[in-house]
Structure 1
Amino acid sequence: MLLKERIQTLFKMNLHHICTYWSVFFSFGLCIAFLGSTIMYLRCQTQSTLSQVTLVFFSQQFCLIIGSSIGGVFKKT
């Protein structure tokens, strides 16, 4: 029971941070989900191949992961 109470206390103390992080990742997810469903229209409008368009999405996500990792390292120190 002690562990459960400690987790609940930590959750209550950090509720603002938890809600902020959740909303940021939720909004990122919605943006990516929205763009993913329009990939074929984007391909037609830019007159690109499907592999070129998907490379753009991959690059965006890869840079997001790298930037988040580097930002986390700087924030931690």
Structure 2
Amino acid sequence: MGCDGRVSELLRRNLQPTLTYWSVFFSFGLCIAFLGPTLLDLRCQTHSSLPQISWVFFSQQLCLLLGSALGGVFKRTSFISSWALVLC
């Protein structure tokens, strides 16, 4: 069995987790991507300035970064990592 056979066997054994991770990251990316084009509309609806509304997106991304980092650090303890991601 060559290298291609091992890779396909590994994918076949882990198909469900692979598809789950792919769908989670794909849907998460779509949720974040649609916010960018709506920035100006959201600014008009909330009667905010552009710098004010930009802080909303900055804080969202910062909390995402912190939550992911804390979840990665505490990945061995599922309870702590789950709460780190929920709080951020």
Counterpart CA distance in 2 for 1:65 and 1:2 is 39
Counterpart CA distance in 1 for 2:54 and 2:11 is 39
Deviations 1:3-54, CA, capped at 9 Å, x for gaps: 3222222211111111111111111111112221111011011111112212
Percent of matched pairs sharing the same residue: 61
1:5 is aligned to 5
Counterpart CA distance in 1 for 2:4 and 2:72 is 28
Moved over 3 A (4+): none
Amino acid at match of 1:16: Q
**Higher RCO by CA contacts (8 Å cutoff, separation 6 or greater):** 2
Q: Indicate the structure with greater helix content.
A: 1
TM normalised by structure 1 equals 0.82
Unaligned runs of 5+ in 1: none
